[in-house]
Amino acid sequence: MEEVTIKVGGMSCQGCVKNVTGALAATAGVAGVAVSLEAGEARVSYDPATVSANALRAVIEEVGFDAA
């Protein structure tokens, strides 16, 4: 398992946090998700054999936020 911290831009309430968390948690290969509104970031643990950090960024952008 690997862990990555991704800066997430555009989250302005806990609903946004929930949307980002849900999208990441529903992604194959994701084992754990912690999204912080205050820090504006998502910490994700994932199986690199199944999903990549860049694919996780794409998931965040698909639900309408900026990921770097």
Binding site for ligand 9UX (CB under 6 A): 12-13, 15-16, 19
Structure tokens at 57: 């960024």
**Closer residue to ligand 9UX, CB minimum distance, 12 or 49:** 12
Minimum distance, C-beta of residue 60 to ligand 9UX, in the bound complex (Å): 12
| Shortest distance (Å) from residue 1 CB to ligand 9UX | 28
Compute the Cα dihedral for 56, 17, 38, 46 and give only its sign: negative
- Helix 53-62 with 14-25: angle, nearest 10 deg: 130
Q: Which is nearer to ligand 9UX, 8 or 56 (CB)?
A: 8
